[in-house]
Structure 1
């Protein structure tokens, strides 16, 4: 390292040479991804490109055929389809997840409800909520333990404009505190928000140039 230079940050999430096939159908063919603390990364691909497969592998819910994924820190995972119990209320979901993460109280959950603008639904059964509000709860549960890395699968689904803006305010706060956010999507709005944009094509990730050259990380 040159005198006076800043050491490179230690990646909080790294995937190397990830391969995954379903039967004889290869989906990932050597995907590489490196995410540093505080970065906002988008993985963009068409339907069927393998985005959800990659996200499940990054989340540790799907094994690789070859390659490795290294996580340094805690992980939050928000799948595209909310995994919720229709008969339980929003508050009950918060209590169950807080207990699972051994959190002392529901303070962070209630703060997130306020940030996302759905605190009035605390006593409502999930089965009575709109799709957008269920997605807000899904996002809240993935952030309840304040993870170091947040993985999001199509996070804008069901969000109105106000919620979309609240979502980005939340992401800005996470990044300011050194948290990394990885968004898996088929369409990227406001590309300049992202530090890294990577296209998933033919089972591999290819970086795009963004305006944030100073924050670039290898893909």
Structure 2
């Protein structure tokens, strides 16, 4: 994105934001509540149109918003089949593998409405990942995760990055900052780059 502005009424949430996420890079975005992090991501993936500036995306995009996109009446398996059709995938093997990686391979027949918050978030993440997008955009993707799943998530994120995918993750956890190749802070509508993580 280049010189992107986005306002809600008289309030400018994004004020000329520039951001490039390269393939094989794991990028973090931090900022106070209300700073506009979710607006930034929604504009990046095309859910919101910028008031000014341009957004350019190459390849497939996967987006895992804070609010899960699941239907409480459908089972986990039905969600996978629905998104398989939407993504035009030959099978759901990738999704099943991701469920195993995240530690919930036995939830297929459960209705989404009966899942714990952490398991719903795992499903939300799998649905964003199952078509192997070029760019993966994650808005605090590990809400409700226990420590083991939190660590599984970061191992998966590193594997995806090492495989050439671009990832951008909004995080509010200070101890996660070392996971990123680059960290940006969104403050007063502007995005500033921090030091490269070691």
| 1:52 equivalenced with 2:42 (yes/no) | no
Runs of 4+ with >4 A deviation: none
Deviation of the 1:101 alpha carbon? 0.7
Aligned residues: 198
Aligned 8 A contact 2:183 2:197 in 1: no
Q: Identify which range, 188-197 or 105-114, moves more after superposition.
A: 188-197
Q: TM-score, normalised by structure 1?
A: 0.88
Of 80, 90, 99, which residue of structure 2 is paired with 1:104?
90
Deviation of the 1:40 alpha carbon? 0.4
Aligned 8 A contact 2:31 2:172 in 1: yes
Aligned 8 A contact 2:182 2:197 in 1: no
What whole-Å deviation, never above 9, does each CA across 1:60-118 have from its counterpart, x for those lacking one? Answer: 01000001111111100000010111010000000000011110011101000100011
Taking the aligned partners of 2:58 and 2:174, their CA distance within structure 1 comes to 27
- 2:23 maps to 37
Alignment of 1:140-219 (within 5 A): 140-212=126-198
Taking the aligned partners of 1:211 and 1:43, their CA distance within structure 2 comes to 13
Q: TM-score, normalised by structure 2?
A: 0.97
Q: Which has the greater radius of gyration?
A: 1
Of 121, 131, 134, which residue of structure 1 is paired with 2:107?
121
Unaligned 5+ runs, structure 2: none
Deviation of the 1:210 alpha carbon? 2.4
- 1:12 maps to none
Taking the aligned partners of 1:184 and 1:191, their CA distance within structure 2 comes to 10
What whole-Å deviation, never above 9, does each CA across 1:131-177 have from its counterpart, x for those lacking one? Answer: 00000000000001000110000112101011011101111110111
| 1:93 equivalenced with 2:79 (yes/no) | yes
What whole-Å deviation, never above 9, does each CA across 1:172-216 have from its counterpart, x for those lacking one? Answer: 11011100110012334232221110000110101111245xxxx
Deviation of the 1:42 alpha carbon? 0.6
Taking the aligned partners of 2:149 and 2:51, their CA distance within structure 1 comes to 38
